[in-house]
Structure 1
């Protein structure tokens, strides 16, 4: 594959997705979960398993976008998170419907109002973690390779975060604590692929010092391409299976991981290396 020749096309694909995500963000904003907006939290100890679909048939009258997950060792507990500040009357009506359809004891239900303070704390710590990890990666890659490799890797990481965030805004997916955890996981996965490719490019530079820079980059990527694709496919298969057969609380983690890993693989091949190539070419022009 001639990655360098078509680098503008690959960059344009990413820019279109990010621009569309920005437009949707301006129009709709984020679909924040209860951790960030506050709302109503209802915990029902049903004493038996009630599927998410059955629960949603009841809850949708009050909040069709409410998050419903299972708790307890035998999944006998339902945890309903609504970003709406449901009135006491609505909460009582919701509980009455569960009691009527599933013979729930009212004493096994707990309902409370949740403030957004926890979400602010999670968001601030997540941003701090991303900044610290990004700076640490930049220092490590600069020490291990060179500054331009580190800068290209950081740009690729920013690309992965923006793509994942854009997908969430485009499809109005809920942004919650699981999304934050997935973003941090994606950073680690993406940088691993990028470093493998960079290591191969450095090896090509050492073995073929007279080769043109674009051929060096293309050869380095192509030598790693099979390994990168095989690793990504096996990871995607595992995540797709988790999303299909997993319970709701597993799905909300598997989805952003799936989006991020696809984006991370794309950026490692089509973004990070071409960015390094451009930085290297710019230095040679200005030298």
Structure 2
């Protein structure tokens, strides 16, 4: 039986030759992502802004203005409405109750639910979330800190594991992936909550895993082909790892597509972020971070100046015996 191959044998794509186009596209997308995020902002969930979020399902797409007026008449604070997942489901945001106890929250939820059922027969209560302002502030701080520490820690590891050029290229690639994801959420207005922070951290982990495979092959080839031009060496390394990169990305995307279709609207934002992150992370690993090593001045001879640390891999021992 013939094996399925997404990438033919002896593939020789000139990735480095396209690096200037890739750098320009990356810069444009990053600037646009930052601009739209700053201009439009993120649709922050209750986790980050505090307050009370009530999710209500209707038998048919409701008139949002009618829903808003029904809720505002209850005197529970100014409401903010958004269709959630499908036109029949509406997310209603309200200020957090003055009393932080659960009884006060339940009273508001019951009040809203009763009013909507009276005005819209067949309306069903799905769920609610309540977060105080103090807790939401701490969640924002901890979420940002987690992402920043992950990016900086991975960049420092790459710096000490390989050369400083690897650390810088890793940092640039991961920041690019994270900013593009933020821009996507600013454009689509999908709710940005703690689930999306988890997705961003997962994207960072996936991106660095893909990049480390390519970086390891580059370092290995730097030991084997000391006289080879760096452009050719990077093209060789990326093409050698391309079947693994493509196969991994495709299989993960297939799993995420199933989750997007059958996982329900609660997981839709998380799944969309993951799918975008896989695509953008693969692109940045193949076209951006690897080619950036040339711009940063990395040469095959640089590996000779680096002291050996720790046990060698099998590939390195074979290379040493050949020399």
TM-score with structure 1 setting the length: 0.79
Report the more deviating stretch, 190-199 or 253-262: 253-262
Report the more deviating stretch, 192-201 or 3-12: 3-12
Structure-2 residue corresponding to 1:189: 206
Structure-2 residue corresponding to 1:131: 148
Coordinate RMSD, CA, aligned: 3.4
Question: In structure 2, what is the Cα distance between the partners aligned to 1:243 and 1:227?
Answer: 24
Structure-1 residue corresponding to 2:47: 35
User: How many corresponding residue pairs?
Assistant: 265
- 1:95-174 map, 5 Å: 95-98=114-117, 101-102=121-122, 114-174=131-191
Give how far 1:227 is off: 1.0
Question: In structure 2, what is the Cα distance between the partners aligned to 1:155 and 1:110?
Answer: 40
Report the more deviating stretch, 227-236 or 92-101: 92-101
In structure 2, the CA distance between the partners of 1:168 and 1:175, relative to structure 1 (3 Å rule), is same
Secondary structure class of the residue paired with 1:101: coil
- 1:22-61 map, 5 Å: 22-42=34-54, 54=59, 57=62, 61=67
Question: In structure 2, what is the Cα distance between the partners aligned to 1:211 and 1:101?
Answer: 74
- 1:54-93 map, 5 Å: 54=59, 57=62, 61-62=67-68, 63-65=80-82, 67=84, 82-85=92-95, 92=111
Secondary structure class of the residue paired with 1:42: strand
Structure-2 residue corresponding to 1:215: 232
Q: 1:20 aligns with which of 15, 25, 32?
A: 32
Give how far 1:64 is off: 4.1
Q: 2:222 aligns with which of 197, 205, 208?
A: 205
In structure 2, the CA distance between the partners of 1:58 and 1:138, relative to structure 1 (3 Å rule), is same
Say which one has the larger Rg.
2
Alpha-carbon displacement from aligned partner over 1:157-192 (angstroms, at most 9, x marks no partner)? 111101111111122222111111111111111000
Q: Does 1:11 align with 2:28?
A: no
Is contact 1:30–1:172 with CA below 8 Å preserved after alignment?
yes
Structure-2 residue corresponding to 1:245: 262
In structure 2, the CA distance between the partners of 1:55 and 1:249, relative to structure 1 (3 Å rule), is farther
